[in-house]
Chains A and B, each alone.
Chain A
């Protein structure tokens, strides 16, 4: 990641960014990042499927993303910071990916909670 962030705009960068315009690839990567530091806590579950018959069956859903986020929050995982950078990075792209509905709300809320907790830990 560090490399990725530090790279000057170049070929490799463009390839990665193009790859991450596919929402399922992006979410998959996010989940891996979040999961790394909580390895072993999570049962392996089905990753992003775009066809799950959910509440809004037309939109892609990523079952397990919420649970992964919860685990990362509970573990105060460093992956959260990495994930944050990744989300900012792809959203700043010229053509940001069409993220699934609710994803940003979910992510922002989780991130805020994480920050709020870190701050209150620091003050105590």
Chain B
């Protein structure tokens, strides 16, 4: 069976397809490949799906190589961090089968012989898709840890003892040499473990042979043997201090040789360098000064005779350098060009001349060269190595971006006073504090940790300098006592007050999820105001490191405090304590028998009831205006009456009626539970089993309770069941849908079981009582906030993102699990500091607003990467966090568009292109703004469309949108769809500050910078362009239109 690329290209949009074909043509288009560098840069504007293009290139490459008789095909995917790798590797994987472990270290490749020989079958060949991150894989000696990881040294020990035929004493001496900073015992355990695993799974022969030859030839092996002999002779358990330096050098060299052997054996066919500007130093030429041993590995890979290199980056070089800064744009640009041309001088020379002609055509009044022609020449010179697709530009001139100035109120006297204090503090510790600190960071003294200034203040207070403490007491500091008791905190900052005005004050503290873009029912009293606002999440960017922490702490605190304040106001309770925990338990009597079974009734997905409570049936039956919650309940009641006909007697409890109605489903329920018991196991599982057993053996008769329609229409269980049915394909097994629904429903149970949630519900509905118990409040809230339409929207997005890989069952289970991940974010604790206190820590519990990126932890650490992924998937869900604040780390490559089309520029960037970078995070495929507009135009139609089986209405809405013509061609509807929602560029300013003129200048630069591609002194050039309305642009779109 041969591999066909066509099925993998089917979902690609027209411009993506043109790019794939152009790249492929540049890689393999003619037989001899003369004049082709085998390197290509796809510089598509951010958010246009470069990884989709890469996937297409991979598919065509595999098809080509397999047809040419290749049996093993290796594709390396290199990207800067693990979070990005996790996000993208799934999209590149054309096999749909699981691929190699993430973060493969080249030095450890020898232990994965199966990785090199295995791979996933693609036709008659096998494909290996291997992710690498430069920091760990390609630059193994970078940084202080020359000795590498314990497991690497253990592997070296095992290999070297074999190469040198070591006896027992020599082995032990070898361990002494290689154990580095690890303890004697732990290292020896690690080596024993390595020996064992290499017996089970032999090391890759080719790598070992390469390594053996290299260490013999370079003398490393004899160095090692000599040192080992020294250790044996001295009998020491540690190498002598004098030997340390030489030893660590030796280890570093051995590790590098091992990594190089791995790199050689990999023999990549295609290397995808994603967002490579993050590791641009890898692109240096071999003979370039400074390109030391660190780059050797990269060159080993890049210069492999078969290797084609595909670079992906929206900003491959600094797109724009301002005058006064370094002129890095042009040098960056040319460096990239050099890499793409394999450092050949001729093409570079020609290109520089072409660019110079273009420049003159634009700004030199003495030339009559035609700018359009000159631009065409630039295109011809670049297209062999670069292409770039762009959306119609996001400018204020078009209607895509909406500029919103958020003017803060004038600073309060106390705000100004804080500034004076801050300056005094700075004077005392010798740090010049500029007004930008004060303008940017709310409560700077509380959040100055991590700045040199903050460290100095802290240290000198610790040294007992009373003046500093007195000064701090004079500022409005935030104390731990205040925070612990949910006291009111003066936000102390104009921008933050504005932010609170625009979120918490608008009732956002009541929100557990954003209102749906395509509501099925009219929102209830809590959500009607919120829906009016058509809110979208906020993505805040600031160049100031403390801003994300300060904003996340204070906004989260404020949201939380409002709920508590509301509780205190309404019932005088303290809003604290254990009264709010675990309200949705599996209650049992002392004898172990289930008592009230409301939780089960609320969360168990009961298919029959779910069908009766389907709001889309109501929408279809209820021609005309959007039905209200009560109207839907009336329809549901009618359908239940039909289901239960003849009308049974009344029962006392709603869950009794539920059990009666679900009698037939209980057996199915039990099967599913037993299958999942191990995975879902929690401490309450025994009680849950009792509930389930009771449900399964239930002998009670059908019964009616007036709350039964509420359960059918609005219980999370019924909702989960309907939502999962709508994304399951027709042939999906019913028990699989049930399992997925149960997974989703348990996620919702966790959401409603949080004390925070219980507090919000009590603030809204009062403390639960027999007339309105907690389970009923939950159902009411789900009805009010349109949970069902929200989940359908979310699942639709997850399904689009995931793509149709795997079996139908995998698909539906995976969707449910991903949705649960999005709603299950653990709250984090961020810290502020009050240095006037004995214990300066002021902990804030945050969930409502979070920061993206770690404050101090190194970004590459596993836990930090994991947390980033977690924060990202939660922000990309309708659930909390509703505000995300980031420094620049969020600017490149990461998606934040799912529920957000509003970017807050907390500070104006220095570089105008940062606007595009930042806004590019939310201006993406199927983003929140696009969905709102599609729903606006096609929602009503999509909701009433009658389908033979349950179908998520978003599919119908986008089908309609795809059919309706707009002026945006291939970018419509998924990237751009006209309508009331736009990408919002929010600018913050104090009255009478310099922000306004600064922005105006930035905007002018932004409008024109594209014309200065590859040019020196870009800002000057734009000024010379002056008022003349040049519209000449350099078109780099792939050919073939």
Contact = CB atoms under 8 A, between A and B. Distances in A.
Interface of A: 45-46, 49, 52-56, 61-67, 69-71, 73-74, 76, 100-103, 105-106, 108-110, 112-114, 116-117, 120, 124
B991 A70 contact: no
Most buried by A among B421, B474, B989, B992: B992
A101 to B, nearest CB: 7
Interface residues of B, number: 30
7 contacts: A53-B1000, A63-B992, A66-B992, A101-B991, A109-B412, A110-B413, A113-B415
- Pairs of residues from A and B, 5 with the lowest C-beta to C-beta distance, nearest first: A113-B416, A55-B407, A55-B405, A112-B413, A102-B991
**Interface of B, helix, strand, loop or mixed by DSSP:** helix
A62 B996 CA distance: 10
B409 interface: yes
Interface of B: 405-407, 409-417, 419-421, 423, 435, 438, 470, 474, 989-997, 1000
Nearest to A54: B996
Most buried by B among A61, A71, A100: A61
A106 B435 contact: no
B474 A120 contact: yes
Contacts of A110: 411, 413, 416
Contacts of A102: 409-410, 991-992
B435 A70 contact: yes
A20 to B, nearest CB: 18
A74 B997 CA distance: 24
A103 B992 contact: yes
Contact of A63 (B410, B423, B997): B997
A103 B410 CA distance: 8
B990 A66 contact: yes
B651 to A, nearest CB: 61
Contacts of A112: 413, 416-417
A13 B423 CA distance: 38
Given A73-B420, A109-B416, A124-B470, A67 B994 contact: yes
A112 to B, nearest CB: 4
Given A46-B997, A55-B996, 8 more contacts: A63-B993, A64-B992, A102-B991, A105-B409, A109-B410, A112-B416, A114-B416, A117-B421
B1007 to A, nearest CB: 14
B795 to A, nearest CB: 39
A117 B420 contact: yes
A61 B413 contact: no
Contacts of B413: 108-110, 112-113, 116
Contacts of A71: 435
Given A74-B419, A105-B409, A61 B470 contact: no
Contacts of A106: 410-411, 991-992
Contacts of B405: 54-55
A117 B410 contact: no
A66 B423 CA distance: 16
B997 A73 contact: no
A71 B419 CA distance: 10
Contacts of A52: 996-997, 1000
A75 to B, nearest CB: 9
B985 to A, nearest CB: 13
A28 B909 CA distance: 28
A55 B992 contact: no
**Interface of A, helix, strand, loop or mixed by DSSP:** helix
B415 A109 contact: yes
A73 B405 CA distance: 27
Contacts of B423: 73-74
B993 A116 contact: no
Contacts of A56: 407
Contacts of A120: 474
Nearest to A60: B992
A69 B991 CA distance: 12
Contacts of B992: 61-66, 100, 102-103, 106
A66 B438 contact: no
A56 B409 CA distance: 12
A93 B991 CA distance: 25
A102 to B, nearest CB: 4
Contacts of A55: 405-407, 989, 996
B1003 to A, nearest CB: 9
A107 to B, nearest CB: 9
Given A54-B989, A67-B994, A116 B417 contact: yes
Contacts of B421: 117
A60 B410 CA distance: 15
A61 B407 CA distance: 12
A90 to B, nearest CB: 17
Most buried by B among A54, A69, A76, A100: A54
Given A73-B419, A113-B416, A117-B417, A105 B410 contact: yes
B493 to A, nearest CB: 13
Nearest to B420: A117
A36 B578 CA distance: 61
Given A55-B405, A106-B411, A66 B417 contact: no
A46 B998 CA distance: 10
Nearest to B990: A66
Contacts of A74: 419-420, 423, 435
B411 A53 contact: no
Nearest to B405: A55
Contacts of A69: 416
B989 A70 contact: no
A106 B412 CA distance: 8
A53 B996 contact: yes
Contacts of B993: 63-67
A52 to B, nearest CB: 5
B988 to A, nearest CB: 10
Most buried by A among B405, B412, B421, B997: B997
B994 A113 contact: no
Nearest to A66: B993
A61 B995 CA distance: 11
A71 B433 CA distance: 11
A54 B990 CA distance: 10
Most buried by A among B413, B419, B421: B413
A63 B994 contact: yes
Nearest to B416: A113
Nearest to B993: A66
Contacts of B435: 67, 70-71, 74
Nearest to B470: A124
A116 to B, nearest CB: 5
B406 to A, nearest CB: 7
A61 B405 CA distance: 14
A117 B470 CA distance: 13
B495 to A, nearest CB: 13
A66 B494 CA distance: 13
A30 to B, nearest CB: 11
Contacts of A108: 413
A42 to B, nearest CB: 10
B429 to A, nearest CB: 15
Contacts of A124: 470
A81 B991 CA distance: 22
A46 B405 CA distance: 20
Contacts of A103: 991-992
Contacts of A53: 996, 1000
A23 B990 CA distance: 19
Contacts of B991: 61, 66, 101-103, 105-106
A73 B411 CA distance: 13
Contacts of B406: 55
A105 B413 CA distance: 9
A49 B414 CA distance: 28
Contacts of A45: 994, 997
A77 to B, nearest CB: 12
A69 B996 CA distance: 17
A122 to B, nearest CB: 13
